[in-house]
Amino acid sequence: MNTVTLTINGQQVTANEGTTVLEAARSLGIDIPTLCAYDELEPAGVCRLCMVEIKQGKKTRLVTSCVYPVENGLEVQTETDRVNQNRRMLLELLLPVAPSGPINALAKRYGVEKSRFELDGPKEAPTNCSLCGLCVRYCEQVKGEFVVGFTGRGVNRKVALVAGKGDECAFCRQCYSICNSGRFVEMAEVFPDQP
C-alpha cells in the first residue's frame, strides 16, 4: 500500500493512502472532537466538530477531518482560532437541544458556558439527540438492520423506529451505548415503513 507523509500540529506522520486526517491525527495521539465518528462505521461527516485547518500552498481552509483523505505534504492544524471559533458556534447550536452528556463536556472544553440560541417556545423540551445518526448507521452497517431511521425534515427531524420493527430493537439495544446524548436513546416515535 502507498503511503503519504503530512504534518499535523507540526508533527510529521506517515499514513496509508486512503486513510483520513482524523485517523492520522489519532495515530499521533492528537485528540480531535467528534460526535458522528465511530470506528466500526463508514465516516459520514455529519457533525462537523472534527473540522481542522489545512494549508495547501499559501491557502488555508477548513475541512472535515473524518472524511478528508491524507495527502502528501499537507499541513494540518487541529486547534486554530478559526477552527475553535467554528466549534464553539456548533456547540452553541447543539447545547439547547442536548444540554447533557458529551456535548456538555465538549462545550466546557471549548469555553462555551451558555448558548445564544434557544429552543422554539417554552414548551419545547430538549431531545438530548444531536441527530449525529450514529444509531441509524450502526443499525444499518453493523447489524444489517433498518430498525432505526430519521423522520421529518428541518427542525422536525427526529430519530425514530421503523413501524413494526420495534421488537427487534428491544432485544438488541447495541446502539444505545454509542449514543451521544449521554443517556439511552428514546425512540418512542414510530414512522411508517413507506416514505
Q: Which is nearer to ligand FES, 86 or 151 (CB)?
A: 86
Q: At closest approach, how far in Å is the CB of 50 from ligand FES?
A: 3
Please identify the residue of the shown chain whose CB is closest to the bound ligand FES: 66
The SS3 call for residue 187 is coil
Q: At closest approach, how far in Å is the CB of 194 from ligand FES?
A: 30
Q: Which is nearer to ligand FES, 6 or 21 (CB)?
A: 21
Q: At closest approach, how far in Å is the CB of 73 from ligand FES?
A: 23
Contacts to ligand FES from residues 34-73, by CB under 6 A: 34-37, 45-50, 64, 66
Residue 180 touches ligand FES, criterion: CB under 6 A: no
Residues ≥6 apart with Cβ < 8 Å to 163: 190, 191, 192, 193
Phi (first) and psi of residue 90, to 5 degrees: -60, -40
Sign of CA dihedral 113, 114, 116, 119: positive
Q: At closest approach, how far in Å is the CB of 122 from ligand FES?
A: 31
Q: How many CB atoms lie within 10 A of CB 86?
A: 16
Residue 76 touches ligand FES, criterion: CB under 6 A: no
Q: At closest approach, how far in Å is the CB of 89 from ligand FES?
A: 14
Pairing mode, if any, of strands 11-16 and 3-8?
Answer: antiparallel
Q: At closest approach, how far in Å is the CB of 44 from ligand FES?
A: 7
Choose among 138, 142, 128, 134: nearest CA to 100: 128
Q: Which is nearer to ligand FES, 67 or 142 (CB)?
A: 67
Residue 8 touches ligand FES, criterion: CB under 6 A: no
Q: Please name every residue paired with 75 in a beta bridge, in sequence order, or none if there are none.
A: 7, 55
Burial environment of residue 2 by CB neighbours within 10 A (0 to 12, 13 to 18, 19 or more): exposed
Q: Which is nearer to ligand FES, 35 or 187 (CB)?
A: 35
Cα separation, 47 vs 94, in Å, equals 10
Contacts to ligand FES from residues 142-161, by CB under 6 A: none
How many residues make contact with ligand FES (CB under 6 A)? 12
Q: Which residues bind ligand FES (CB under 6 A)?
A: 34-37, 45-50, 64, 66
